[in-house]
């Protein structure tokens, strides 16, 4: 029996893919199709896929051409597969001409003619475009525009800043077409809004945008009151709009893999989580100004709360906060969480520096994520028997923002898309923790 193998993403499955599979099948008696996993595509910089791996596999299966479907998860897997399945022919489209010649050491390599005039890229470009508007033109907004260029089906159309000259300057710098004079004018131009304005303005802008029928991606910290978060979710749900918080750590591939490993018992039962995020700031920064909701909790707590809520859940019994204050804001806060079956703590600081790592302790070992853990591409699992220690590396591209932008766009364009990187409940609890702190419940000065 002559075995043939081919690989691809097969996004938005089309006639070109079908022809390629039919041609590959005709080269032998048994066709194996390797389909890239979602994380492998992200790793190799393919950010724009519209279908997830299960949808792509279903499309291939329904052609009836594949005798076996495998998932391609890592660079170098092709050699392993060819040997493992005793493959005779590796086939791929002619757009890869020459690239896979190195496989001829293991089997015959055939480049098949591509079907002209059709491609996933063309189909993706036919999909509706989400026109996004940005509120606020600070440093994070400046990073957003270049990152959004890596994501399909999104276009930065307009900018709003009450200080119009700053919006004008932003538009010039990034080639954004429209600098709005008012929010009403701004909403008329866009389908979705990215809120990158100062913390204390998030709630008002998010509410206004949702009432205007716009999808919302809101920077962190989301809002400072649980009732405000609840109201925003209700407005979004009633209108069928996407409301997402731009907590970029949640969208980093390494963080996602860390959670999956820990949830599947890699270190046994989780007993403690400790996370630190500190960023020294100059004293005259707005981030340390009480009039603008400055302070370490408001600036950084959402990051450190993320692994705690993800790993120990949202039903903690009690939180105590210990804060060092200066000019009416916390330059450092340590929080201690008591759960029924575990404990957690975090340190945040704008005026105190510490090691910014994440350690998760379990009954069989611990996970160590070095600083800066909130934008990590690397972590380790460590055990009593050091021979069992393992290092995990998941590279990501650019600033990491493109992953959350991609999720945002996918959830707008695919009606049944379910985004769950940070749940509604987790976002509500984050707001509740901020509220508890602002109300000085269980807050102690040091």
> Can you read off the two tokens belonging to residue 181?
């004079």
User: Rule CB under 6 A: is residue 119 a binding residue for ligand C2G?
Assistant: yes
Single out the residue of 3, 4, 5, 8 in contact with ligand C2G (rule: CB under 6 A): 8
Buried b or exposed e, range 279-312, using 16+ CB within 10 angstroms? bebeeeeebbbeebbbbbbbbbbbbbbbbbbbbb
The residue whose Cβ lies closest to ligand C2G is 93
- Residue 72 vs 208, nearer CB to ligand C2G: 72
Single out the residue of 31, 38, 57, 93 in contact with ligand C2G (rule: CB under 6 A): 93
User: Rule CB under 6 A: is residue 20 a binding residue for ligand C2G?
Assistant: yes
User: Rule CB under 6 A: is residue 124 a binding residue for ligand C2G?
Assistant: no
Angle, helices 164-174 vs 139-148, to 10°: value is: 30
Torsion of CA 93, 99, 102, 103, to 10 degrees: -20
User: Rule CB under 6 A: is residue 63 a binding residue for ligand C2G?
Assistant: no
Cβ atoms 436, 323 nearer than 8 A: no
- Residue 13 vs 321, nearer CB to ligand C2G: 13
Single out the residue of 52, 55, 63, 114 in contact with ligand C2G (rule: CB under 6 A): 114
Strand partners, 34: 7, 70
User: Rule CB under 6 A: is residue 294 a binding residue for ligand C2G?
Assistant: no
Count of residues near ligand C2G by CB under 6 A: 18
Query: Given the DSSP bridges, would you call strands 154-160 and 178-179 parallel, antiparallel or unpaired?
Result: parallel
User: Rule CB under 6 A: is residue 356 a binding residue for ligand C2G?
Assistant: no
> Can you read off the two tokens belonging to residue 263?
């949830």
User: Rule CB under 6 A: is residue 224 a binding residue for ligand C2G?
Assistant: no
User: Rule CB under 6 A: is residue 252 a binding residue for ligand C2G?
Assistant: no
User: Rule CB under 6 A: is residue 115 a binding residue for ligand C2G?
Assistant: yes
Site stretch for ligand C2G (CB under 6 A), options 79-87, 114-122, 133-141, 278-286: 114-122
- Residue 36 vs 276, nearer CB to ligand C2G: 36
- Residue 14 vs 257, nearer CB to ligand C2G: 14
User: Rule CB under 6 A: is residue 17 a binding residue for ligand C2G?
Assistant: yes
Please list every residue from 31 through 50 that binds ligand C2G, using CB under 6 A: 36
User: Rule CB under 6 A: is residue 10 a binding residue for ligand C2G?
Assistant: yes
| Residues at the interface with ligand C2G (CB under 6 A) | 7-11, 16-17, 20, 36, 72, 92-93, 95, 114-115, 118-120
């Amino acid at each position: 029996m002559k075995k043939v193998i081919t690989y691809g993403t097969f996004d938005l499955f089309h006639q070109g893919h079908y022809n390629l599979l039919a041609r590959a099948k005709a080269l032998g008696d048994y066709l194996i199709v390797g389909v890239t996993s979602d994380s492998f595509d992200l790793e190799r910089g393919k950010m724009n896929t519209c279908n997830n791996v299960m949808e792509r596999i279903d499309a291939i299966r329904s052609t009836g051409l594949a005798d076996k479907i495998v998932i391609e998860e890592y660079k170098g897997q092709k050699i392993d597969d060819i040997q493992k399945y005793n493959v005779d022919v590796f086939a791929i489209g002619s757009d890869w001409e020459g690239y896979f010649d190195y496989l001829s050491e293991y089997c015959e390599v055939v480049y098949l003619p591509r079907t002209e005039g059709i491609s996933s890229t063309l189909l993706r470009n036919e999909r509706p475009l989400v026109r996004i508007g940005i509120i606020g033109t600070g440093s994070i907004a400046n990073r957003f525009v270049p990152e959004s260029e890596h994501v399909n089906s999104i276009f930065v159309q307009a900018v709003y800043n009450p200080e119009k000259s700053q919006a004008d300057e932003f538009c010039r710098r990034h080639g954004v077409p429209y600098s709005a004079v008012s929010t009403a004018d701004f909403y008329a131009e866009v389908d979705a809004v990215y809120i990158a304005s100062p913390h204390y303005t998030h709630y008002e802008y998010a509410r206004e945008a949702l009432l205007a029928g716009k999808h919302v991606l809101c920077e962190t910290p989301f809002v400072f009151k649980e009732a405000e978060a609840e109201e925003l979710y209700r407005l979004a749900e009633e209108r069928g709009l996407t409301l997402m918080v731009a907590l970029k750590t949640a969208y980093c591939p390494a963080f996602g893999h860390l959670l999956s490993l820990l949830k599947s018992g890699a270190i046994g039962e989780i007993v403690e989580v400790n996370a630190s995020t500190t960023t020294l700031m100059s004293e005259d920064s707005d981030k340390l100004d009480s009039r603008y909701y400055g302070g370490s909790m408001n600036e950084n707590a959402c990051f450190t709360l993320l692994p705690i809520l993800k790993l120990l859940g949202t039903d903690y019994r009690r939180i105590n906060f210990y804060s060092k204050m200066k000019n009416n804001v916390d330059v450092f806060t340590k929080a201690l969480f008591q759960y029924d079956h575990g404990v957690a703590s975090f340190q945040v600081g704008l005026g105190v520096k510490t090691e910014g790592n994440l350690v998760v302790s379990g009954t069989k070992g611990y996970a160590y994520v070095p600083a800066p853990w909130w934008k990590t591409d690397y972590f380790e699992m460590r055990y009593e028997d050091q021979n069992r220690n393992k290092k995990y590396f998941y590279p990501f591209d650019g600033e990491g923002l493109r992953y959350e932008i991609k999720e945002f766009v996918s959830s707008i364009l695919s009606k049944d898309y379910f985004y769950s990187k940070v749940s509604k409940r987790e976002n509500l609890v984050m707001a509740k923790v901020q509220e508890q702190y602002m109300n000085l419940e269980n807050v102690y000065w040091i």
